[in-house]
Chain A
Amino acid sequence: MADWFAENGLLLGLALLDGLAYAALVFMVAVGLNLVFGVLRIVNVAHGSLFAIGAYTAASIGIFFASRGLPPWMSYVALVLAAVAVGAVLGPLIEKLLLRRIYGHEDVLQLLVTFALFMILEDVQKLIWGVQPISQDTPLRFLGTVDVPFGEDVIPFTAYQLFVLPGVAVATLLALAWFLRRTLTGRVIVAVTTDKEAATAMGIDAARIMLLTFTFGAGLAALGGALASPTTALVPGVGAQTIVLSFAVVATAGLGQIEGAALTSLLIGLGRSIAVYFAPEFEVVVPYLIMVAVLLVRPQGLFGVIETRRV
């Protein structure tokens, strides 16, 4: 064991740090997917496209800011701007034009419609940004690197991935938990998630809540993409990769608990990055192995909500 650590300690350290940063991004996407499914009862296959468009938009705004000679910290403003813009424009557009027509329809139809939307958005993205890799890493370079002590080794790691990504994810988790428990709008969202018809009979305008929730979820996905954009070169296909991973998180965590989504993101993010470093040929399947293992034992997911007692 000690020998193994001496040989592989550095790799393990890198895998953990990478996994943490990756888990933060996966959480941002999965928590939105979870919220949207809870309220709209639609599995939005195009949720990953919002991540991708958020990433591209952030890169474009960042490049534009840089071309105007704005200071590098403005690249963070670009990330937030991109998330807000994508959420506020695409969210209502998609909900009002498309999703509103398929509420309560059979699952197959909903899957086909959102899958079609995914294909359309992938092409829109290629039309606007082309297929050449785009890179805009000012936010990453601006904060520099930190030397992380790990046993006897030191791992240089970017401060952006070490602090900003997990920080934003934790802040999102806390803010969301507070919002859903403590504000009226939050409780109304929970009520519609629990029972749309009963909520309507209480005077809740469910259509408005669905629009609001979808817009918010779209914004979270776009924020995830925007935050991811400095860490990688953007190429077509990033949306598909994200959505598949966040499906695994939502299925593993079970629906309803955002804290559960956070822990599961961590589990799957770490699992995947450990595979990347130690068994790269399993990188793609590890999240699903975790998912299958969990669902075999707990079909409702790790944190699935317990059914209300009937008697």
Chain B
Amino acid sequence: MLELSGVSVDIAGIRVLRGVSLAVPPGGRVALIGRNGAGKTTTLRALMGLLPVREGRVALDGQDATTTPAHHRARLGIGYAPEERRLFGSFSVRENMLLPAEVLRLPRPETARRLEAVFTLLPELRELAPRRAAGLSGGQGKMVALGRALMVGTRAVLLDEPFQGLAPALAMRYAEALARLHQALPEVAILITESNPELLRSLVEATYVIERGEMAPA
């Protein structure tokens, strides 16, 4: 269970999240819906520890993680795919995906097993593996970002607006990949942000709405 309770966050002295609460149960698929600037990305960054939480608490399976250093959260099994995909451009796709596993010093067989599982789930990544990340298209980059998040996200993956800017056909493929992900790895929770509530209706079990940094009725 991934939980935010009453979380407030400031950026450059301005409060951008006010008492945000949400819960993602193990294996649950949850959407966080909001317009641009509503605080979706900030909420995910707070969950990842990339921004300091001013009030409230972040918990993982009931354990307080509010002040857990950001770089420890990958170790806790949370994978993060930021909105702008943010791959390491000079690395190959394979190197991008392996990096988090290497940083966590996972045993080699475990790394190989996870990589194979991700390739099975997202077959196009197998072909892209030797390519330099800098040369990928937006849609390809989003797939790689999802694959990279899954390499460490054994408990949960946080996907920030993955459908943003995807052509309809690619968006369909991405949605299918998420459905396969849930079937193949039912224990992995998915928290996904989006501005259009219609898009995720069939993919998620629960929806939260955020407006101007505060939770709003769904």
Indicate if A188 sits at the interface (CB-CB under 8 A).
yes
Q: Decide: B103 and A309 in contact? CB cutoff 8 A.
A: no
Indicate if B130 sits at the interface (CB-CB under 8 A).
no
Contacts of B208 in A (CB 8 A): none
Q: Known contacts A201-B70, A204-B71, A311-B138: does B88 contact A194 (CB below 8 Å)? A: yes
Contacts of B95 in A (CB 8 A): 187
Contacts of B86 in A (CB 8 A): 195, 197-198
Q: Known contacts A198-B86, A200-B50, A306-B134: does B100 contact A205 (CB below 8 Å)? A: no
Contact with B along A181-202 (1 / 0, CB 8 A): 0001001101100110111111
Indicate if A310 sits at the interface (CB-CB under 8 A).
yes
- Minimum CB–CB distance from A306 to chain B (whole Å) comes to 7
Q: Known contacts A190-B90, A194-B88, A195-B86: does B134 contact A202 (CB below 8 Å)? A: no
Indicate if B24 sits at the interface (CB-CB under 8 A).
no
Partner of A309, one of B50, B72, B100, B136: B136
Contacts of B135 in A (CB 8 A): 309
Q: How far is the CA of A204 from the CA of B48 in the complex (A)?
A: 13
Q: Decide: A204 and B165 in contact? CB cutoff 8 A.
A: no
Partner of B134, one of A187, A197, A206, A309: A309
Indicate if B152 sits at the interface (CB-CB under 8 A).
yes
Q: Which of B70, B75, B99 has the most CB of A within 10 A?
A: B99
Q: Known contacts A187-B91, A311-B165: does B48 contact A201 (CB below 8 Å)? A: yes
Give chain A interface residues in 201-216, CB to chain B under 8 Å. Answer: 201-206
Indicate if B74 sits at the interface (CB-CB under 8 A).
yes
Give chain B interface residues in 68-126, CB to chain A under 8 Å. Answer: 69-75, 80, 82, 84, 86-91, 95, 99-100, 102-104
Indicate if A132 sits at the interface (CB-CB under 8 A).
no
Contact with B along A18-44 (1 / 0, CB 8 A): 000000000000000000000000000
| Interface footprint category on A | 20 to 34
Indicate if B202 sits at the interface (CB-CB under 8 A).
no
Indicate if B63 sits at the interface (CB-CB under 8 A).
no
Question: Nearest B residue to A191 by beta-carbon distance?
Answer: B88
Indicate if A308 sits at the interface (CB-CB under 8 A).
yes
Partner of A201, one of B74, B88, B133, B138: B74
Q: Decide: A202 and B99 in contact? CB cutoff 8 A.
A: yes
Q: How far is the CA of A201 from the CA of B50 in the complex (A)?
A: 8
Q: Known contacts A201-B80, A203-B74, A203-B75: does B103 contact A308 (CB below 8 Å)? A: no
Q: Which of A190, A198, A200 has the most CB of B within 10 A?
A: A198
Q: Known contacts A309-B135, A309-B137: does B100 contact A203 (CB below 8 Å)? A: yes
Q: Which of A187, A191, A195, A308 has the most CB of B within 10 A?
A: A308
Q: How far is the CA of A187 from the CA of B103 in the complex (A)?
A: 10
Q: Known contacts A190-B91, A203-B152, A311-B138: does B82 contact A198 (CB below 8 Å)? A: yes
Give chain A interface residues in 284-311, CB to chain B under 8 Å. Answer: 305-306, 308-311
- Minimum CB–CB distance from B126 to chain A (whole Å) comes to 21
Q: Decide: B100 and A202 in contact? CB cutoff 8 A.
A: yes
Question: Nearest B residue to A206 by beta-carbon distance?
Answer: B71
- Minimum CB–CB distance from A187 to chain B (whole Å) comes to 6
Q: Decide: B82 and A197 in contact? CB cutoff 8 A.
A: yes
Q: Known contacts A200-B50, A202-B103: does B69 contact A190 (CB below 8 Å)? A: no
- Minimum CB–CB distance from A205 to chain B (whole Å) comes to 5
Contact with A along B133-151 (1 / 0, CB 8 A): 1111110000000001000
Question: Nearest A residue to B90 by beta-carbon distance?
Answer: A190
- Minimum CB–CB distance from B91 to chain A (whole Å) comes to 7
Q: Decide: B136 and A202 in contact? CB cutoff 8 A.
A: no
- Minimum CB–CB distance from A24 to chain B (whole Å) comes to 26
Contacts of B148 in A (CB 8 A): 202
Q: Decide: B71 and A205 in contact? CB cutoff 8 A.
A: yes
**Which 7 residue pairs across A and B have the least CB separation, nearest first?**
A203-B74, A202-B100, A198-B86, A201-B80, A308-B89, A203-B103, A205-B71
A residues sitting closer than 8 Å to B (CB atoms) are 184, 187-188, 190-191, 194-195, 197-206, 305-306, 308-311
12 contacts between A and B (CB under 8 A): A184-B103, A197-B45, A197-B50, A198-B82, A200-B70, A200-B71, A201-B70, A201-B74, A203-B104, A308-B89, A308-B133, A310-B84
